[in-house]
Amino acid sequence: MEYEEPKFFQVMKYGIEADRDVIDMVSGNPDWEPPTALREALAAYAELPSAEFQYPPSEGIRDLREAIAVRRGVDVDRIVLTNGTGEANYLGMARALERGAGDEALLMDPVYPYYPGKTELLGGEPTLVPTERDGGLDVDAVRAAASEDTALVVLNTPNNPTGAVYAIEKVREVVGIAESVDALVLVDEVYDRFDHTGSFESALSLDSDRVIVTSGFSKSMAITGFRVGYAILPDAHVDAAKTRHMLVNVAGSRPAQYAVSHALEATEPEYYAEARERLADRIDAFTEALEAAGAEYTRPDGGFYVLARFEGFPGTMENVKRLIDEAGVAGMPGDTFGTARDDWLRFALVTPRSLEAAERLVDYFSER
Amino acid sequence: MEYEEPKFFQVMKYGIEADRDVIDMVSGNPDWEPPTALREALAAYAELPSAEFQYPPSEGIRDLREAIAVRRGVDVDRIVLTNGTGEANYLGMARALERGAGDEALLMDPVYPYYPGKTELLGGEPTLVPTERDGGLDVDAVRAAASEDTALVVLNTPNNPTGAVYAIEKVREVVGIAESVDALVLVDEVYDRFDHTGSFESALSLDSDRVIVTSGFSKSMAITGFRVGYAILPDAHVDAAKTRHMLVNVAGSRPAQYAVSHALEATEPEYYAEARERLADRIDAFTEALEAAGAEYTRPDGGFYVLARFEGFPGTMENVKRLIDEAGVAGMPGDTFGTARDDWLRFALVTPRSLEAAERLVDYFSER
């Protein structure tokens, strides 16, 4: 079973133990402040009567579910709050795979490594489907891969690691293909607040009974450690997801849900815009430097990762360690993300030292 | 798939909507204060730098794992922090059932309804094994039920709902039986701070590579909504549990782990003793009243539930509703907990109105 964290930790550990200053571009942890209202709400929660410290409803506290329902334009009964987007994906994928509609999950390549990991945990068979050169959705490839055994298609938009933002028309076509083979489509939209194109459209707009949308507040509120996410399921699949959620986790953590609920209500659009603009500036600077270093790269339309390929320097773990030792920059090996980009490296721009890292890369590759 | 919460919510809802005052003896939510240090730590956490709001290690924050290791006398590497004891049980049961060592889980009857629910979710087959009249472990019954298909035996001591505290010698015999059929034994000790006999001994004292122990802080710190629990696994099974934990939940909620960690360090034994003594007083008063009402009952050796049987008044959902309407006391139907006590009712003593409830029961049954 292959998934991100072990390699991720391996690289982090190597970077920390290195005999020099290393800029961490490995983790997906936002480096900016959470909303002020989140801190305030958590402090206020600590003073509440002890009854407020007991089990929330299994599907999550009502206020937060209602706020999500309004923002997302869906019925509140379709929403299950989860222990981060990770659990939301687990619940949605489990539902698709347990229906007796086949064992195969189609995953786009490059792939976020938890998806094949979860598929195998659930007894399913992951199949990697090629995407376009820039990471865009290749509808013909999905069509060619789909069969009666396909139970699930997983999409992630804005995408980790490619930064692609899928055109909604292509997502609609994929949903049509899924329908023809009795598959469900799970769309992980956790990076939806980091759309740099202004054209991102949620798969919820398709209003399809085949579509499960997942998301969370880890990235948008800079709180990956709080573990507050959600799944929005079609009516026919909500009860199964709730049952699994209850049997696995009973409920999510109430202080975290409470803090997010208040922060969601109180936080102005400017907060999200500021984070997005900060990232866009970093992307500009970083990709300019990549250009100068003669690297091939994908300029992300969304999210905060950049994939880059340096001639004669494939994205192996060995080269990642070399880059740490010789350039002082830690990225992730491309082969963590399936087969499509195993020549590449992934850099996370959630560090104020992104520009400095870019300069180090320029220097390093100009001297080789 | 049958489990407690739906029936639990059904009864709660009926009680709330009843046209009279109803004393809630349904939920397992402690009604006393959490440790002061827990509130303080949560408030302090809200002020920490934002880096402290990001992913904790998947297996949980180090300080808390180390504190548990010291208290439990085990190597810290064997400990995985989980989203409550519920997830700890899920991970341990999954590990036992996924080894190719059989599909059957032996569960003691009366049974905490999540155990059969989780077994079925994991593709296993639950088999209910009778216990002694007072809820004690019936080793011969376990031996008679065990077979090559048995992969798992689940014990819960102190027990919900019977209040039995299992003699460690009997647990040792069950572990011997498990060994002979290649099964693991999961011992859920979440009520270990509520041992009224002074004789409870953890299954960890057996030092067996067959034993998984689970527990959590929901009950002992009166924070069922925080979701901080843990599994202690034999070396050979830790990695599998960590992998599943990561693929399902990524990590637990950090503010909750942080608050529990500080509270565990700072809280004196008096805090736990006070809660235990309060419960012992309630048990005395409640069982005296049951005696006066002519009921049969099991006096709990541990935990905070009392099972009672009223002649001619079986513990059906219908009678539970009748008791709400006619006596103003809400309990749980015995048939929620397997087959052994379907004539009985379960009352949770986590309300300051336990004595008042007992008096209502005396009045009600003396007038019938």
Q: Among A154, A186, A188, A193, which Cα is nearest to A304's?
A: A193
> CA–CA separation, B41 vs B35, rounded Å?
10
- CA dist B182 and A133 (Å) reads 51
Q: List the single residue in B with minimal CA-CA distance to A59.
A: B5
Please judge whether A252 and B47 are an interchain contact, meaning their C-beta atoms are less than 8 angstroms apart.
Answer: no
Q: Which residue has the tokens 């929660």?
A: A45
Q: What pLDDT score was predicted for residue B195?
A: 97
SS3 (DSSP) at A130: strand
- The C-alpha angle B229, A80, A261, rounded to 5 degrees, equals 80
**Amino acid code (one letter) for A227:** R
Q: Which CATH architecture has domain B4-34+270-367?
A: Alpha-Beta Complex (3.90)
Distance CA B280, CA B362 (A): 20
Distance CA B351, CA A358 (A): 61
pLDDT exceeds cutoff 90 at B257: yes
Q: How far is B132 from chain A (nearest CA, A)?
A: 28
CB A32 within 8 A of CB A351: no
As a whole number, mean pLDDT of residues B186-200 equals 97
pLDDT at B5: 58
Q: Which residues contact A353 (CB under 8 A, 6 or more apart)?
A: A23
Nearest Cα neighbor of A14 from A360, A323, A235 is: A323
Share of chain B above pLDDT 70, in %: 99
The CATH code for residues A54-266 is 3.40.640.10
| CA distance to A88, A139, A316, B140, per residue, from A93 (Å) | 9, 21, 30, 42
Interface of A with B in 305-364 (CB under 8 A): none
Reduced to 3 states, what is the DSSP secondary structure of residue A243? helix
pLDDT tens profile B221-255: 999 999 999 999 999 999 999 999 999 999 999 99
Burial of A244 (0-12, 13-18, 19+ CB in 10 A): buried
Interface test with B, best of A12, A38, A52, A53 (most B CBs within 10 A): A53
Option in B30, B121, B246 nearest A247 (CB): B121
Q: What span, in angstroms and rounded, lies between the C-alpha atoms of A45 and B196? A: 33
Environment class of residue B100 by beta-carbon count within 10 Å: exposed (0-12), middle (13-18) or buried (19+)?
exposed
Question: Distance of CA B113 to CAs A266, B51, B118, Å?
Answer: 40, 40, 9
Instruction: Note the pLDDT tens digit of each residue in B63-110.
Output: 999 999 999 999 999 999 999 999 999 999 999 999 999 999 999 999
Tell me the average pLDDT across B318-328. 96
Q: CA–CA separation, B35 vs B265, rounded Å?
A: 11
> Who wins on pLDDT, B368 or B152?
B152
d(CA A126, CA A339): 13
Contacts of B31 in chain A (CB under 8 A): 50-51
Q: Do A227 and B243 touch (CB under 8 A)?
A: no
In chain A, DSSP assigns E strands to: 23-24, 79-82, 104-109, 125-130, 150-156, 184-188, 211-216, 229-232, 296-298, 305-309, 329-330, 332-333, 345-348
Are B285 and B354 spatial neighbours (Cβ–Cβ below 8 Å)? yes
Structure tokens at A125: 């068979």
The verdict on A10 touching B (C-beta cutoff 8 Å) is: no
**Two structure tokens written together for B200:** 């409870």
Sign of the Cα torsion B224, B119, B178, B60 reads negative
Q: Do the domains A4-34+270-367 and A54-266 sit in the same CATH topology, yes or no?
A: no
Report the C-alpha gap between B281 and B220 in whole angstroms: 17
Q: Does B253 touch chain A (CB under 8 A)?
A: yes
- d(CA B228, CA B224) in angstroms, rounded, equals 8
Count of helices and strands (H, E) across chain B:
12, 13
pLDDT one digit per residue (tens) for chain A, 368 residues = 444 557 888 898 899 999 999 999 998 899 999 999 999 999 999 999 999 999 999 999 999 999 999 999 999 999 999 999 999 999 999 999 999 999 999 999 999 999 999 999 999 999 999 999 999 999 999 999 999 999 999 999 999 999 999 999 999 999 999 999 999 999 999 999 999 999 999 999 999 999 999 999 999 999 999 999 999 999 999 999 999 999 999 999 999 999 999 999 999 999 999 999 999 999 999 999 999 989 999 899 999 999 999 999 999 999 999 999 999 999 999 999 998 898 999 999 999 999 999 999 999 998 87
A171 sits in which H/E element: helix A168-180
Tens digit of each residue's pLDDT (9 = 90 or more) over B102-142:
999 999 999 999 999 999 999 999 999 999 999 999 999 99
Q: Give the pairing type, strands B150-156 and B184-188.
A: parallel
Cα of B344 vs its chain's centroid, Å: 19
Residue keyed to tokens 């008063």: B285
How big is chain B by its Cα radius of gyration, in Å? Answer: 20
> How close, in Å, is residue B86 to chain A by CA atoms?
6
- Pairing of β A23-24 and β A104-109: unpaired
- Cα distance between residue B192 and residue A260, in whole Å: 33
Residues with Cβ within 8 Å of A71's Cβ and at least 6 positions away in sequence, in order, are: A264
Q: Look up residue A368 and give its two tokens.
A: 């080789």
The structure tokens listed for A246 are: 């209850």
**Which of A101, A237, A230 is closest to A178 using CA atoms?**
A101
CA angle A205, A210, A216 (to 5 degrees): 60
Partner B contacted by A17 (CB < 8 A): no
Measure B256 CA to nearest chain A CA, in Å: 7
Q: Say which residues have a Cβ less than 8 Å from residue B332's Cβ, sequence separation at least 6.
A: B4, B7, B8, B11, B26, B161, B320, B345, B346, B347, B348
**CATH 3.40.640.10, applies to B36-266:** yes
B9-55 confidence digits (pLDDT tens):
889 889 999 999 999 999 899 999 999 999 999 999 999 999 999 99
- CA distance linking residue A314 with residue B239, whole number of Å: 30
- State whether B253 and A45 contact (CB < 8 Å): no
Contacts of B54 in chain A (CB under 8 A): 27, 29-30, 222-225
Nearest to B263 by CA among B221, B218, B309, B315: B221
CA distance B9 to A190: 31
- The pair of structure tokens assigned to A269 is 């659009």
Q: Is residue B1 pLDDT above 50, yes or no?
A: no
- Helix residue spans in chain B (DSSP H): 4-17, 36-45, 62-72, 84-97, 114-121, 139-145, 168-180, 235-249, 254-266, 269-292, 317-327, 354-367
Q: Which of A3, A43, A53 sits opposite B246 (nearest CB)?
A: A3
Decide: B2 and B322 in contact? Cβ < 8 Å: no
- Spell out the domain ranges in chain B: 4-34+270-367, 36-266
- Residue B5's contacts (CB-CB under 8 Å, 6 or more residues apart) are A58, A246, A250
Distance separating alpha carbons of residues B158 and B141, to the nearest angstrom: 19
Residue A250 CA to residue B114 CA, distance in Å, equals 9
Supply the pLDDT for residue B7: 84
